[in-house]
Amino acid sequence: MTTPVSIVTGGSRGIGRAIAVELGRLGYRVVINYNANAAAADEAAALVKDAGGDAITVQADVARTDDHARLLDAAVSRFGPVTLLVNNAGVAPKVRADVLTMPEASYDFVMDTNLKGPFLLTQRVANHMVEAGASESGVAPGHSIRAIINISSISAYTAHVNRGEYSLSKAGMAMMTQVFAARLAEEGIGVYEIRPGVIATDMTGPVKEKYDKLILEDERGITPIRRWGRPEDVAQAVAAIAEGRFPFSTGEVFNVDGGFHMKTL
């Protein structure tokens, strides 16, 4: 069987790095996309190789659609047809602002990276997958599949009045998953959404004190599982899909949030 090939956007740090390394453990050839931090991407590639996979790094700004062709071309040129796309790259607003005063530039910045870019990159990679040949149905666990995985957020359904553009981008990604899942099922390509909760990354660093209190110190806490999420928690969910363990599922949402999504009394 051909060695599976994945593209992980925003793969240099945090959740993206953990996903890349976990795919390496599964024997994937991993294309680590990064925007600005080449040194971090190189570190991630070394970790993938240490885990048993292979990796290259490719600079591309997901928000710039002109970069998409170069990213895909680099992947195919080095490793062959792409079998897995993980849309992980994402940004938070540079400044948290009340939704009543949020500047247009912040809306464009967040939406271009978190929704428009992933949507159009998925379109390009999906067409590539279709042209390369539809995947076999009924793939047994432990074998690679053709799939697209969108890393969204609990913000897809949690309203943030001081970063409304972020919530909107993740809600849009949830529907993007459904749209592509419905279209690509006939091509044998599964599309899934993984919805992380509060994960310890650079993005959540500035609000660590707030979430330490909400998760660990409050009497009940906002999550039944009383700890911060780890990037590796998300990576394990990606691995389960990448191993082909859900051959009769598509458009599915996997919550990796410590139980935050549950309504409890």
The Cα–Cα gap between 40 and 207 comes to 23
Instruction: Tell me which of 28, 166, 192, 211 is the catalytic residue.
Output: 166
The Cα–Cα gap between 99 and 101 comes to 5
Residues 6+ apart with CB under 8 A from 203: 14, 90, 92
Three-state DSSP class for residue 135: coil
Q: Is 262 left (phi over 0), alpha (psi -120 to 50) or beta?
A: beta
At residue 108's C-alpha, the angle toward residues 107 and 110, to 5°, is 70
Catalytic site residue 166?
yes
The Cα–Cα gap between 226 and 197 comes to 12
User: In this structure, are residues 232 and 14 in contact, taking their beta carbons and an 8 Å threshold?
Assistant: no
φ, ψ (nearest 5 deg) of residue 175: -70, -35
Is 191 exposed, middle or buried (CB count within 10 Å of its CB: 0-12, 13-18, 19+)?
Answer: buried
The Cα–Cα gap between 108 and 193 comes to 23
The Cα–Cα gap between 215 and 219 comes to 9
Instruction: Please identify every residue annotated as catalytic.
Output: 166
